[in-house]
Amino acid sequence: MKRGPSDNSKIADVAGLLKQCRSILFITGAGISADSGLPTYRGIGGLYNGRTTDEGIPIETALAGEMLATNPSVTWKYLARIEEGCRRATFNRAHEVIAGMERHFERVWVLTQNIDGFHSAAGSRNVIDIHGDMHELFCPGCAWRATVKDYSRLEIPPKCPLCGRIVRPAVVFFGEMLPYDKTQVLFEEMDKSFDIYFSVGTTSVFPYIQEPMLKARSLQRPTVEINPDDTEISSLVDVKISMGAAEALDRIWEQYRDS
C-alpha cells in the first residue's frame, strides 16, 4: 500500500511555509483544549455525548436560548457543570505557541469556538471568541456586567445585584445569533486575507468555521489542519497533521525557530 508523507515531514513542511509568511489565521475548537484536560464537548459544552441530561432532554435543549428564557435554572445547572470541569484547567502549550507567534509575526488572529478563555489567558490579544467567554456575565435588564474567575461563589442561577434579574454569560446558546461585533471583526480580517490558514482541533461542522479555509483554498493560500481525526475539511486542506494540537504546534514552532 502506498503511504503518504509522515507527520514528521509534514511538520517540517509547515515550518518551511511559515518562513514565507507574515500573517496567520488560526481557527480553533475543543480539540486545542484537550491537552488541558478538557473533554472535546459536543456543541457549546454538552457534557453527554450520546446521552441525555438528568431531565431527559438533549444537552442542546438544556443549553438553548429558549430554555434560558423559560427555565434558566436548567440552563445554569449545566453551565455550572461545564465551568466546574474547566476550573482546574488552564491553557496548554498549543495556546502558548499561538500567543508566541502573534508576538513574532506581523499579523496573527485566532477565531475560536471555545468559551474557556484560554487563548487570552495565554497572551493572545487578537482573539475572536465567536461563541463568547463563560467568565463574562451580564444582566439583560440593566447595564450590570462582571468578569468572574469561576462560578464557585455564585448562586445558581445568579441574579443581578442591581435589578434582581437572572444574569447570563456572554456566550452564544443554541438557537441564538452570532454576536454582530465579533462577526464584523471576522469579516474585516477575512477581507484582508492571510498568508496561511490553520484549523486546529475543530470538526469544522459550522459553515462560518469552514468558510475561512474554503476561502483560503480559492485564494490558493496554504491550509493546514491539525487534528487526530478526520473532519469536514480534511480532504480539502493542503497539509493534514494527525496529531494533538500541543505536540504538533510545539514541534512546528521549534522547527521554524531552529531553521
Catalytic residues: 131
- For residue 74, the surrounding DSSP H or E stretch is helix 72-87
Sequence-ordered list of residues with C-beta below 8 angstroms from that of 37, at least 6 positions apart, any chain:
88, 89
From the number of C-beta atoms within 10 Å of its C-beta (0-12, 13-18, 19+), residue 258 rates as exposed
SS3 27: strand
Residue 216 amino acid letter? A
Rounded CA gap, 234 and 240, in Å? Answer: 7
Strand order in the sheet with 145-147: 145-147, 132-138, 168-171
Cell matching residue 195: 498568508
Neighbours of 160 (CB within 10 A): 19
Residue of 27, 142, 136 whose CA lies nearest to 83? 136
Cell matching residue 223: 491550509
Rounded CA gap, 133 and 82, in Å? Answer: 12
